[in-house]
Amino acid sequence: TPEAEEYVREGQHIEEGDVLGLLEVMKMFNQIRAEFPGTIRKICVEAGSGIIVSSGQSLFLLDPDVPPVTETEEEIFKKQQEQTTSIMQNIYPAN
């Protein structure tokens, strides 16, 4: 419930799926869950502050346990090409 203690605090380690807090939308409380494991670096919106948050606004800053993998556009294109070729070969096998 909104009156309960904070779900997380700065410096706390969290796991994927952990509840980080509640967000009220249209009189309903929705759980905010961690999408990956990591450590809470900063809580950007304090619980019970009554602040209206905007779409895309940061609620927490997290340091992930495993840094995200970034691919160049060239790597993404190459991977898409390979997947498309594989699919086409399955649909139209060579005689």
Domains and CATH numbers, the chain: 13-91 (2.40.50)
Residue 1: predicted pLDDT: 53
| Its pTM surpasses 0.75 | no
Q: What is the pLDDT of residue 56?
A: 87
> Which residues in the chain show pLDDT less than 70?
1-4, 95
Within 10 A of 83 (CB to CB), how many other CB atoms are there? 10
What integer pLDDT is reported at residue 53 of this predicted model?
Answer: 83
Question: What is the predicted pLDDT for the residue at 3?
Answer: 63
- State the Cα–Cα distance between residues 51 and 60, nearest whole angstrom: 14
- Tokens 């340091």 correspond to what residue? 63
Per-residue burial over 18-54, b = 16 or more CB atoms within 10 Å of its CB, e = otherwise: eebbbeeeeeeeeeeebeeebebeebeeeeeeeeeee
